[in-house]
A = this chain, B = another copy of it.
Amino acid sequence: MTTFRSGCPITSSLDIVGDKWTLVILRSMAMGATSFAELIALPEKIATNILASRLGRMEETGLIVCDQAGQGRRRGVYRLTRKGADLLPVVQALARWGETHLPDRWTVPEKFRDMTSEQLIG
């Protein structure tokens, strides 16, 4: 269970997504990733135990759902919920800041820049 540092909505949001990996995973899912394997293959090289733990917490906090989840392994695809997709403006703002203020970064795809939360959950 998440314990909030204060009632501030900014701090509380950070208590949920303000770790090293959650928003990176979210970015990748916004760009189309749906499986554990795809997320392991990212250039950022997240460790398997961290990914499993982050996906678990993101499911708990309602940012993602896992279709045909249930018994054993091979758990099917992860999808963003409305709650998760609504974090897109945060990620887009980070992209914009990085492109403006950090040297030699990649350019994000145009479609990502113009995307809306609605498009992600369709």
| Chain A positions near chain B (C-beta within 8 angstroms) | 5-14, 16-20, 23-24, 27, 42-45, 83, 86-87, 89-102, 104-108
B11, B20, B89: the one within 8 Å of A18 (CB): B20
Copies in the complex: 2
B14, B24, B83: the one within 8 Å of A11 (CB): B24
Question: Do A105 and B45 contact each other (CB < 8 Å), given the known contacts A14-B20, A90-B93, A93-B93?
Answer: no
List chain B residues, Cβ under 8 A from A86.
97, 100-101
Question: Do A43 and B97 contact each other (CB < 8 Å), given the known contacts A14-B23, A18-B18?
Answer: no
List chain B residues, Cβ under 8 A from A104.
7
